[in-house]
Amino acid sequence: MDTIIFNGNITIKNIPNEAYNYVVNGRPAIEWIIDQYQVKTDKKSGITDDPNEFSNDPKYILNLLLSVITVSMKTIELVEQLPKFEVVDDS
């Protein structure tokens, strides 16, 4: 997925597929952010969880998502530069 439709006015395009290789607790960090920061209503209680209420900054969630995309890419780039891990048996 190289495009995320953030809302009716904002679309994030050209996200490298490699960004989804940055996995935290078994899930790509980008997918986790998208899942956690959606408006959700609990079916039983009817209580709505609106992450837009977490901050007075209307760009909070967008900036968070953009930051996670950047961190994902930078982390993958750094990991690729590391030397190969090698176990040496000295016995």
Q: What is the Cα–Cα distance from 71 to 65, expressed in whole angstroms?
A: 10
Query: Structure tokens of 23?
Result: 């996995």
> Which residue is associated with the tokens 């959700």?
40
**Where are the chain's structural domains?**
4-78
The residue among 7, 14, 12 whose CA lies nearest residue 58 is 7
Q: What is the Cα–Cα distance from 50 to 91, expressed in whole angstroms?
A: 58
Contact 24, 67 (CB under 8 A): no
pTM: 0.80
| pLDDT tens, the chain, 91 aa long | 789 999 889 999 999 999 999 999 899 999 999 999 989 999 999 999 998 888 889 899 999 999 999 999 999 999 999 998 888 888 7
Q: What is the Cα–Cα distance from 13 to 56, expressed in whole angstroms?
A: 26
